[in-house]
Amino acid sequence: GAVVSQHPSRVICKSGTSVKIECRSLDFQATTMFWYRQFPKQSLMLMATSNEGSKATYEQGVEKDKFLINHASLTLSTLTVTSAHPEDSSFYICSARTAPAQNGYTFGSGTRLTVV
């Protein structure tokens, strides 16, 4: 089945530094990918929709200059958390649509970001 690979699975960074998270579709092309954030004991919240070859669409309240999204190819989307602060510590998950029907959505395994 379709696989979305997300890397790294865990990262610890110092406050003020930037962190890049990669999301790759391994055996299919994904023109659209989604980035979610999940705080402890909460549900997934959509941050942005990443479109290949165009600008990402951000949800209300998500700072586009802080969470940089690049979707330069049909198999790779990246999320860069710039000038990270402890409140950015969270579980980040990407998702891609794999088919026009049925389940259609495959998720990465997530990235646990801890900012110290």
Partner 1 sequence: DAKTTQPPSMDCAEGRAANLPCNHSTISGNEYVYWYRQIHSQGPQYIIHGLKNNETNEMASLIITEDRKSSTLILPHATLRDTAVYYCIVRVLSGSARQLTFGSGTQLTVLP
Minimal distance, residue 95 CB to partner 1, in Å: 7
Minimal distance, residue 11 CB to partner 1, in Å: 14
Minimal distance, residue 16 CB to partner 1, in Å: 26
Q: How many angstroms separate the CA atoms of 107 and 19, rounded?
A: 20
Amino acid at 81: V
Q: Which is nearer to partner 1, 3 or 13 (CB)?
A: 3
Q: Which is nearer to partner 1, 83 or 99 (CB)?
A: 99
Q: Which is nearer to partner 1, 79 or 93 (CB)?
A: 93
Q: Which is nearer to partner 1, 8 or 16 (CB)?
A: 8
Instruction: Provide the binding-site residues for partner 1, judged by CB under 8 A.
Output: 4, 6, 31-32, 34, 36, 43-46, 49, 91, 93, 95, 97, 100-103, 105-110, 112
Mention every residue, 6+ apart, whose C-beta is less than 8 A from residue 15: 84, 85, 86, 115, 116
Minimal distance, residue 106 CB to partner 1, in Å: 7
The neighbouring-strand residues paired with 45 are: 37
Mention every residue, 6+ apart, whose C-beta is less than 8 A from residue 5: 22, 23, 24, 25, 26, 108, 109
